[in-house]
């Protein structure tokens, strides 16, 4: 079994089955682990890279160093094809995620409730630091926020923010 068979397997219409047969015959894939359906592109290039690695080892063991290096180069090409596909998919996901985050940030930047929430958080930090002794409870704090920023209309929501902020503050404090 040599490079000609691998080349035929890669270029023929039945390439997947032939590649699996090569790997099975070399003892690299047990019969029960064979993939029955045609793989996706990434799996295919992984199988191709593996096949070339097996052929490189066989050529090296047969004393054909030049042929072994040829297989190594081919395996590297197949591995690069696999990696570039994974990288492309990852880049598209990151681009979509990044643009979605930017759109959400732009939407929130225009929202007056979010601006008021940011100001309420600053007031909460001052309260937490002890600068506002009259605001002892979350309810008192919520009433003060609704008085300062009329766009905030729900004391229950503001109390929920206080609960979240208190939990975050407790997490960030060093253990005593």
116 shares a domain with 64: no
Which helix (H) or strand (E) segment holds residue 2: the answer is none
**Tens-digit pLDDT profile for residues 101-112:** 888 888 877 889
In DSSP notation, 91-139 reads HHHHHHHHHHHHHHHHHHHH-HHHHHHHHHHHHHHHHHTTS-TT--SHH
| 169 dihedral zone (left: phi>0; alpha: psi -120 to 50; beta) | alpha
Q: Is the dihedral of CA 80, 82, 84, 87 positive or negative?
A: negative
Residue 128 lies in a domain: yes
128 shares a domain with 60: no
71 shares a domain with 118: no
**Tens-digit pLDDT profile for residues 134-165:** 888 999 999 999 999 999 999 999 999 999 99
**Tens-digit pLDDT profile for residues 16-47:** 666 667 666 766 666 666 555 555 677 777 87
Residue 102 lies in a domain: no
152 shares a domain with 120: yes
Q: Tell me the residue range of the domain where 129 lies.
A: 111-172
Q: How far is 41 from 78, CA to CA, in rounded Å?
A: 11
Q: What is the pLDDT of residue 1?
A: 44
Q: What is the pTM of this model?
A: 0.42
Q: Please tell me the total count of domains within the chain.
A: 2
């Amino acid at each position: 079994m040599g490079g000609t068979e691998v080349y035929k397997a890669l270029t023929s219409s039945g390439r997947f089955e032939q590649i699996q047969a090569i790997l099975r015959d070399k003892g690299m894939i047990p019969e029960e682990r064979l993939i029955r359906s045609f793989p996706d592109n990434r799996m295919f290039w992984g199988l191709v890279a593996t096949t070339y690695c097996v052929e490189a080892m066989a050529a090296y063991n047969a004393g054909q160093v030049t042929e072994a290096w040829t297989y190594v180069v081919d395996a590297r090409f197949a591995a690069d094809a696999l990696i570039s596909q994974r990288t492309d998919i990852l880049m598209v996901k990151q681009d979509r995620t990044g643009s979605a985050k930017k759109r959400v940030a732009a939407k929130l930047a225009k929202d007056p409730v979010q601006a008021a929430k940011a100001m309420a958080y600053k007031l909460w930090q001052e309260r937490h630091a002890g600068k506002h002794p009259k605001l002892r409870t979350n309810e008192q704090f919520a009433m003060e926020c609704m008085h300062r920023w009329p766009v905030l209309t729900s004391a229950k929501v503001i109390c929920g923010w206080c609960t979240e902020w208190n939990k975050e503050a407790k997490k960030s404090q060093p253990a005593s």
